[in-house]
Structure 1
């Protein structure tokens, strides 16, 4: 694990060094492609200009992610327990992801206004699908022999679900959570483009309209950092909850 992280750090640092040298030697204008040092300087010196934007995006992301996780889990459980409902609604579940969010977003603004509701709906739409699909697959992959043994022992459907199927689906659930954690930040930024007073999306829009490319890169930098932080939190929770699972290194 450490070696993989170490290699990734070397690649990232190498790219930044090449970027910095190329910007200096080729005299690329800052408004086209600022050097990494210029971006970092902007990030540190003007922190007071955008710290409230970051806090707003974090709050919006966490709220939408929580709603998306709840909706995804409820849909997955419903479709698993009711096979006939799954046959009817699963195609609609897939079709819901074929509609581009950037196209659906203006409709949500028309229907619900410029408040927080359409923004939460956008984040929920991009978050619930990976969780629902991953959880459904995890529930379906439960060992049928174990289900047969529990039925022979007199277990009810509720006991089979809560004590066997649901715990068996937790690894797949975390796979969906990892994807949704990164999607939630993207959804929050897209929702802020529609019409918000603050947020990283608003800061990025204002920076691009004024040709402050360095500030656009600062916004991109913080978006990447938020995605990595949320992803790391999910991975940490997965390791704490799934201690019983053998590690990849032990399987080799």
Structure 2
């Protein structure tokens, strides 16, 4: 059980950044209003908040599209990373052949991949989903594979002495002990999912928060640009929080008492 001091410290960890954030918003509001800065240069936080009521229907429609693309791309990236990571563990030769290529592929800028996907697959949701997959896939894969490789060799040798085959070793040892590393990869990828979808929409699309941003930017409606950006941040935070909850449920034996 946690002591009162630990609970107090945890509360402070939330209160301090919250107070700092509120202070920044208030200072921002004061500077914009007191200096009468035009909205097309820097909108006040109050003007940004108004967008969520005045343009709610439009924002909701675009946000749901981006949310759908991000969720689907994220789920597919998890399934793909688990499948390829498992294959690499069972067949090390495949890892030697393709792992370096996958590493190099992550050095290609997103801004160069998205237009190609749009040319190949059109302007609908498919290229955006693929963009999210390619962005989220590697962090999940590399953490999953590293988690299996960093297992104590004594455990591996113990399973060998019990004549456990590769499948049993994977199911009962490697997979459970690599879960923490896997969740680390999931959290990293969760922060990329909505950004990847938005960038893909920005570079080519007819609907989505990225398209909403482009149209708002062209009309110098920076309050709408900020509002859509806030939605991307909120969605990403919800993703990360959901993964943290799932991690604690899955690894409840480790987080028992927290």
TM-score class normalised by the smaller sequence: over 0.9
1:246 Cα offset (Å): 4.7
Number of residue pairs aligned between Structure 1 and Structure 2: 249
Q: Partner residue of 2:149?
A: 140
Select the residue among 24, 44, 57 that pairs with 2:53. 44
| Cα distance in structure 1, aligned partners of 2:249 and 2:112 | 39
Name stretches of at least 5 consecutive residues in structure 2 with no aligned partner: 1-9
Q: Partner residue of 1:182?
A: 191
Cα deviations across residues 35-91 of structure 1 (Å, max 9, x unaligned)?
A: 111111122222122211111111111111111111111122222222222112111
Counterparts in 2 of 1:12-161, with a 5 A limit? 12-161=21-170
Q: Partner residue of 2:7?
A: none
Which consecutive aligned stretches of 4+ in structure 1 deviate over 4 angstroms post-superposition?
none
| Cα distance in structure 2, aligned partners of 1:197 and 1:88 | 39
Cα deviations across residues 146-172 of structure 1 (Å, max 9, x unaligned)?
A: 111122122111111110001000000
| Cα distance in structure 1, aligned partners of 2:255 and 2:68 | 35
| Cα distance in structure 1, aligned partners of 2:224 and 2:124 | 26
Q: Partner residue of 2:5?
A: none
Structure 1-normalised TM-score? Answer: 0.94
Structure 2-normalised TM-score? Answer: 0.92
| Cα distance in structure 1, aligned partners of 2:44 and 2:125 | 36
**Stretch moving more, 219-228 or 185-194:** 185-194
Is 1:220 matched up with 2:220?
no
| Cα distance in structure 1, aligned partners of 2:255 and 2:207 | 44
| Cα distance in structure 1, aligned partners of 2:145 and 2:189 | 15
**Stretch moving more, 34-43 or 75-84:** 75-84
Name stretches of at least 5 consecutive residues in structure 1 with no aligned partner: none
Q: Alignment RMSD, CA only?
A: 1.5
| Cα distance in structure 1, aligned partners of 2:198 and 2:244 | 23
